């Protein structure tokens, strides 16, 4: 190889070495930036969890304080049917303010929100699939069923059984 060729090759190698060094530097800076971004994201997520936990605690604390007022009434006032009714209404009002809703039991049986605990034969007054009686009220929290309404339902008598 001649001297000018060696000089060209040497300069090309030197240029490639500089380019590799620049790429290595760029890679290291990006790696450090990514680590910083990930640490920042983790910090923000932890702060969001802390704020969410604090809000839940405050909501629960408020609910408990309101329920304790009703408990205080039960413990300090003389027992009576009026007290039971009043405290029941007070507690339900506390829950209703927090999106609790009674399941509608005035319509026909709906398996999504009603649970059959008994059946009776259908009649003119109670056609098949109508709710005859409510054994225990059901409740929704927002759009989620907490507990189904337990009902007695009118069913069509099976004429073939005779």
pLDDT in tens, 62-75: 999 999 999 999 99
Name the domain count of the chain: 2
Neighbouring CB atoms inside 10 A of 59's CB total: 11
Arithmetic mean of pLDDT, 54-67: 93
Shared-domain flag, residues 48 and 86: yes
End of a domain among 98, 117, 142? 98
Is 90 found in the same domain as 24? yes
Are residue 34 and residue 60 in the same domain, yes or no? yes
The tokens for 36 are: 């910083």
Q: What pLDDT sits at residue 97? A: 94
Cα of first residue to Cα of last residue in the chain, in angstroms, is 114
Taking 60 as the threshold, does the pLDDT of residue 142 lie above it?
yes
The domain boundary, picked from 98, 119, 147, lies at 98
Its domain, for residue 137, covers 100-161
125 and 83 part of one domain: no
Mark whether 60 and 119 lie in a shared domain: no
What is the pLDDT, as a whole number, of residue 162?
A: 44
What b-and-e string marks burial along 69-82, b requiring 16 or more CB atoms within 10 Å of the CB?
ebeeeeeeeeeeee
Q: Quick one: tokens of 42?
A: 């983790």
- In this structure, what CATH number is given to the domain that contains residue 143? 2.30.22.10
Query: How far apart (Å, rounded) are the C-alpha atoms in residues 73 and 71?
Result: 5
Q: Are residues 92 and 120 in the same domain?
A: no
Q: What stretch of H or E contains 47?
A: helix 3-76
Task: Look at residue 128 and give its three-state secondary structure.
Answer: coil
Model confidence at 6, in pLDDT bands (50, 70, 90)?
Answer: confident
Residue 53 token pair: 């936990």
pLDDT digits (tens, 9 = 90+) for 18-34: 999 999 999 999 988 89
Residues contacting 74, CB < 8 A, separation 6+: 83, 87
Instruction: Give the global pTM.
Output: 0.64
């Amino acid at each position: 190889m001649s001297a000018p060729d060696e000089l060209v090759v040497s300069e090309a190698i030197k240029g490639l070495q500089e380019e590799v060094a620049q790429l290595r530097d760029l890679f290291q800076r990006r790696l450090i930036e990514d680590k910083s971004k990930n640490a920042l994201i983790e910090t923000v997520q932890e702060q969001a969890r802390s704020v969410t936990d604090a809000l839940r605690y405050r909501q629960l604390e408020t609910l408990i304080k309101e329920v304790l007022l009703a408990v205080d009434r039960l413990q300090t006032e003389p027992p009576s049917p009026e007290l039971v009714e009043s405290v029941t209404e007070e507690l339900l009002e506390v829950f209703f303010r927090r999106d609790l809703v009674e399941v509608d039991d005035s319509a026909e049986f709906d398996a999504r929100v009603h649970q059959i605990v008994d059946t009776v034969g259908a009649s003119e007054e109670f056609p098949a699939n109508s709710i005859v009686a409510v054994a225990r009220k059901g409740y929704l929290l927002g759009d989620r069923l907490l507990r189904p309404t337990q009902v007695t339902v009118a069913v069509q008598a099976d004429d073939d059984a005779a």
